[in-house]
Amino acid sequence: MYVCLCNAVSDKAIRKAVRQHDPHTMKQLRELVPIGTDCGKCIRQARQIMVEERATLIHMHEVA
């Protein structure tokens, strides 16, 4: 699903960036994928995806 329509960024692209680079802030995420650079409507959803994906990563590390 597209999160950022202005830059055609999907939730999969955000999740992949989080898994590969583990950004801790939106600023760090924005350095990896072009979100929130135009209208900004995607920021809230992108942040939620980042938080969810980071929680999944933390859980995976705890289980391993």
Q: Domains plus CATH for the chain?
A: 2-63 (1.10.10.1100)
Average pLDDT along the chain:
93
* Beta bridge partner(s), residue 2: 10
For the record, the structure tokens of 61 come out as 């590390």
Cα separation of 35 and 7, whole Å? 7
Mean pLDDT confidence for 24-50: 95
pLDDT value of position 64: 61
Quote the DSSP letter at residue 1. -
- pTM of the prediction? 0.90
DSSP E strand boundaries for the chain: 2-4, 9-10
